[in-house]
């Protein structure tokens, strides 16, 4: 307000009512700009927002969906001792390797989520397609070290993944277009972040009428109901939607995202900055089972979450341990990185060892994106927000069509009104016809 008074000509006296009107006029002009930004981003990218939202909602419960579709692979009969009767992981790995080709390479291991769930070991098998292996999963009973079955996840020469969950994941992450698709999705994510921010700006009431923007008007007409539904749904899902979109940008454009974070918080490390194993020098590599024993002997607290096998000559074994006591109420994961030759613990990453604010920010991206940071509450919130994305797209398109129809109707009625002086515009002179 003070700035507005300073902009007035010296000596001009303006009534408070006029000041408020001028302020609203100025704000409405700015609002028109943001409305155009929001409109075109929504029309161009709203379909992708709806697609990402629906597929994301499905992936929130991908483990439960997989179990429901293939219970014979995921569900096991637990003895009275429960997880205490698990066979050593070396036996599990040996059983899985026995049903895979000798050139298959172990990549990732999902630890049983509870006492009734199997091990899932992912293998890469060389294929005829250069630099693209076939991906298989082997399911092993943790109590008997018995293979329950194996499943083709992604064939290198196939157009689409053969399993449902990988298909949805590839659609969500890369629009089924590989690395190029992942980059495109990342760019779309950046634009969608600006779209939801512009929506928040448009939601903000210029006159302080908060009730109008926080509720749906009862007994409203179709147009008003659609407007209020779009506005209210956008506002209440904004916090989760913004966090999910931002974390999605990080996962699809990690290098660019990390460059920006490091500028704000120097010293922050990303996944690509993790320590590497020292060169072999003719040393034999330790097994993933040995790396697990080293990690658990040092950090016995918590439940195993997942493990990844060292990739390449300088790769490292990584062991994730969740539900670690005393770390964080919202996200209590500890990640241990082990040298694949010496067995030395190269890095321990958890909420108690954060080095920078940027590191904390980065480490929260996946938990926030999946909703797992807040347990079932977080997963349900992400699920509902994903379902709201197609609602926002549809109500936004309907609102645009309503305004477009009203504008065309107004123009049509205006053209039918009688015009003065034979239809000439104001100020024109009608000359007599010759």
Residue-wise pLDDT tens digits, 19-38: 767 777 777 788 889 999 99
Residue among 252, 45, 72, 67 at smallest CA distance from 169:
252
Instruction: Name the token pair of 381.
Output: 């919130």
pLDDT of residue 407: 85
pLDDT of residue 25: 79
| Number of residues that this document lists for the chain | 434
The reply to whether the predicted model has a pTM over 0.75 is yes
Convert 160-200 into a string of H (helix), E (strand) and C (coil). CCCCHHHHHHHHHHHCCCHHHHHHHHHHHHHHHHHHHHHHH
Tell me the per-residue pLDDT of 151-181, one tens digit each, with 9 for 90 and over. 999 998 888 888 899 999 999 999 999 899 9
Residues 6+ apart with CB under 8 A from 422: 430
The CATH number of 85-169, from 3.10.450, 1.10.287, 3.40.50, 3.30.160, is: 3.10.450
Spatial distance between the Cα atoms of 325 and 330, rounded to a whole number of angstroms: 11
pLDDT of residue 12: 56
Terminal-to-terminal C-alpha distance of the chain:
61
Enter the DSSP assignment of 212. Answer: H
Enter the DSSP assignment of 75. Answer: B
Extract the residue ranges of the chain whose pLDDT is less than 70. 1-17, 20, 354, 414-434
Q: Measured between alpha carbons, how far is residue 10 from residues 6, 7, 13, 14, 227 in Å?
A: 8, 9, 9, 11, 43
Burial class, 25, CB count within 10 angstroms (exposed 0-12 / middle 13-18 / buried 19+): exposed
Spatial distance between the Cα atoms of 52 and 193, rounded to a whole number of angstroms: 13
pLDDT of residue 130: 87
pLDDT of residue 281: 80
Instruction: Name the token pair of 367.
Output: 């938990």
Q: Measured between alpha carbons, how far is residue 403 from residues 316, 406, 431 in Å?
A: 58, 5, 40
Domain map (residue ranges) of the chain: 85-169, 273-354
Same fold, 85-169 and 273-354: yes
The CB density around residue 24, as the number of other CB atoms within 10 Å, is 13
Instruction: Name the token pair of 82.
Output: 């429960």
pLDDT of residue 425: 43
Topology of the domain covering 273-354:
Nuclear Transport Factor 2; Chain: A, (3.10.450)
pLDDT of residue 327: 85
Residue among 188, 187, 189, 204 at smallest CA distance from 35:
204
CA 85 and chain centroid, separation: 37
- Helices 375-416 and 222-252 meet at what angle, rounded to 10? 130
Instruction: Name the token pair of 1.
Output: 């307000």
Spatial distance between the Cα atoms of 114 and 108, rounded to a whole number of angstroms: 18
pLDDT of residue 214: 92
Spatial distance between the Cα atoms of 139 and 119, rounded to a whole number of angstroms: 6
- Is the CB of residue 224 less than 8 Å from the CB of residue 217? yes
pLDDT of residue 254: 94
pLDDT of residue 146: 97
């Amino acid at each position: 307000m003070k700035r507005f008074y300073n902009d007035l000509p010296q000596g001009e006296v303006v009534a408070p009512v006029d000041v408020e009107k001028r302020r609203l006029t100025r704000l409405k002009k700015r609002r028109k700009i943001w409305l155009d930004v929001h409109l075109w981003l929504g029309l161009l990218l709203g379909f992708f927002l709806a697609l990402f939202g629906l597929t994301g909602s499905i992936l929130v419960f991908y483990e439960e969906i997989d179990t429901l579709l293939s219970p014979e692979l995921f569900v096991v009969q637990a003895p009275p001792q429960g997880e205490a009767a698990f066979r050593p992981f070396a036996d599990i790995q040996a059983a899985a390797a026995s049903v895979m080709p000798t050139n298959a390479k172990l990549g990732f291991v999902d630890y049983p989520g509870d006492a009734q769930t199997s091990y899932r070991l992912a293998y890469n098998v060389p294929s005829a397609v250069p630099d693209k292996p076939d991906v298989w999963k082997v399911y092993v009973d943790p109590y008997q070290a018995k293979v329950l079955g194996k499943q083709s996840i992604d064939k290198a020469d196939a157009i689409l993944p053969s399993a449902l969950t990988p298909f949805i994941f590839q659609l969500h992450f890369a629009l089924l277009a590989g690395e190029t698709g992942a980059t495109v999705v990342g760019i779309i994510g950046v634009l969608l972040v600006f779209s939801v921010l512009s929506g928040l700006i448009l939601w903000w009431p210029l006159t302080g009428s908060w009730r109008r923007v926080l509720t749906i008007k009862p007994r409203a007409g179709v147009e008003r109901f659609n407007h209020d539904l779009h506005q209210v749904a956008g506002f209440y899902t904004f916090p989760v939607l913004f966090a999910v979109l931002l974390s999605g940008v990080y996962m699809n454009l990690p290098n660019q995202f990390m460059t920006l974070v490091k500028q704000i918080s120097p010293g922050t490390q990303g996944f690509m900055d993790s320590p590497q194993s020292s060169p072999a020098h003719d040393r034999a590599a330790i097994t993933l089972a040995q790396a697990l024993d080293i990690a658990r002997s040092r950090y016995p607290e918590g439940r195993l979450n997942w493990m990844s096998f060292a990739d390449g000559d300088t790769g490292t074994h990584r062991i994730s341990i969740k539900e670690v006591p005393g770390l964080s109420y919202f996200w209590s994961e500890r990640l241990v990185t082990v040298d694949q030759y010496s067995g030395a613990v190269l890095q321990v990453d958890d909420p108690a060892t954060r080095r920078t604010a940027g590191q904390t920010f980065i480490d929260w991206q996946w938990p926030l994106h999946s909703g797992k940071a807040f347990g079932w509450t977080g997963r349900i919130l992400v699920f509902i927000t994903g379902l709201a994305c197609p609602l926002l797209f549809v109500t936004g398109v309907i609102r645009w069509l309503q305004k477009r129809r009203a504008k065309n109707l107004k123009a049509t009625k205006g053209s039918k009104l009688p015009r003065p002086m034979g239809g000439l515009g104001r100020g024109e002179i009608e000359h007599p016809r010759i």
